[in-house]
Structure 1
């Protein structure tokens, strides 16, 4: 085969395609500035850009105002001891790769972070972006849910992640996530079923033993967002959507099997 250097043998040609119209790009250096910019119409907030940029590119008719949060100063991991309970606060711009390497992060979240995305994307993807995406198949998000995490909005207000996941939209900028560190006596478990070990699980279950003997167990792949299963009866109320990887009934069947596996492993 002879190379034509990217030019058709019949002469130069132009491939017609549509690109999204980016009206403006901003890189604020303070949270106040970022909040003011975020209030504009058609604003798109980006952290690592692994989730948002592909979405922007897939909607060529949208006119986007990009607000890049990388210079706002929302990264880092810190811990504090309150009433004998150790908690960890993770800045929204903290990369998933940093969660894996930071010793303040519980082992459960470190392991889930390694499975969340390919290694090439974990150095770009942010904790806040993962939360904001509210993907029903995100095992890291499910891990935060299992730990009873709270989410900081605009650097001031805290709301439970479980509440955020049920809201129609996120009002404001996610600035941090905070959760209590499991005690050394706590048991954790992660079970999943996927087409291959490297694929995003079709369904997964994540659990941790509770301080009062009742475990916290969350599922992915059974709803629009990860869900906590508070009672066994909740399994019957699941209505997962079918796709090419599995029917609704198949996903529901997997959810039940994985739930009981995890419940058995984390039972004290």
Structure 2
């Protein structure tokens, strides 16, 4: 339950407000309006006035403002096709019009198509607090550092692909695979559809062993949606399809 609402005009004011107990940033509101927060008294800090919703290309980097919506990102001409595909799978149009890029990454679980593809891109998060730092998405999920995400960067000079298997075309994935490959041969494979966050199955100097890495990453990935054996087999297949699609 939201008991206090703040709409600061500067980043400095925002950071001071967020230091208060039980105070959370408000982007699109799709997370804070969920049942998870119905029984909890919280204060919210609206980020709308901070101009953090930009999307722009800087050299070979796509800079995504923290409060840019998923729909903005989907419609931007610079967004890689694989990420557009993942965003379409992430949520319906109404949700995409409200959900922010940063909020989605903070609140996601392992079945997030968007987060899976961002992990494949080795997304870098700029976090502002008492100081400003840049962390990988993997480190952010592991450490949950304090401060406010203000920007997310992904590379544009890579080949990429996204594949998933779900019960229906519009459903969340049971198995998802996102792949990014650099001109140097570096290959990153992220898997989704299971667990608390998507997982990095491979970050190698080349693509050799990609299918084995995918299969091994999901060898214990059993839940109510699928067995580990099924996920392991499908992950290897999707990894191969991603590599073929990225060529």
Normalising by structure 1, we get a TM-score of 0.80
Greater radius of gyration (CA): 1
- Partners in 2 of 1:237 and 1:113 — Cα distance? 23
CA RMSD of aligned residues (A): 2.0
**1:137 and 2:117 equivalent?**
no
Does structure 2 retain, via aligned residues, the 8 Å contact 1:152–1:159?
A: yes
**1:180 and 2:155 equivalent?**
yes
Q: Could you tell me which runs of 5 or more consecutive residues in structure 1 were left unpaired when the two chains were aligned.
A: 1-19
Does structure 2 retain, via aligned residues, the 8 Å contact 1:217–1:263?
A: no
Normalising by structure 2, we get a TM-score of 0.87
In the TM superposition, what is the alpha-carbon distance from 1:178 to its structure 2 partner?
0.6
> What is aligned with 1:199?
171
**How is 1:11-22 mapped onto 2 (pairs within 5 angstroms)?**
20=1, 22=2
Given the alignment, which residue of 148, 151, 160 partners 2:122?
Answer: 148
Tell me: CA distance 1:202–1:260, structure 2 relative to 1, closer, same or farther (3 Å): same
> What is aligned with 2:142?
166
How many residues align structurally?
236
**1:74 and 2:23 equivalent?**
no
> What is aligned with 2:205?
none
Does structure 1 retain, via aligned residues, the 8 Å contact 2:175–2:193?
A: yes
- Partners in 2 of 1:108 and 1:101 — Cα distance? 13
- Partners in 2 of 1:120 and 1:144 — Cα distance? 21
Higher strand share: 2
Q: Could you tell me which runs of 5 or more consecutive residues in structure 2 were left unpaired when the two chains were aligned.
A: 203-208
**1:262 and 2:236 equivalent?**
no
In the TM superposition, what is the alpha-carbon distance from 1:251 to its structure 2 partner?
2.6
> What is aligned with 2:190?
218
- Partners in 2 of 1:253 and 1:174 — Cα distance? 36
> What is aligned with 1:25?
5
> What is aligned with 1:14?
none
In the TM superposition, what is the alpha-carbon distance from 1:92 to its structure 2 partner?
0.4
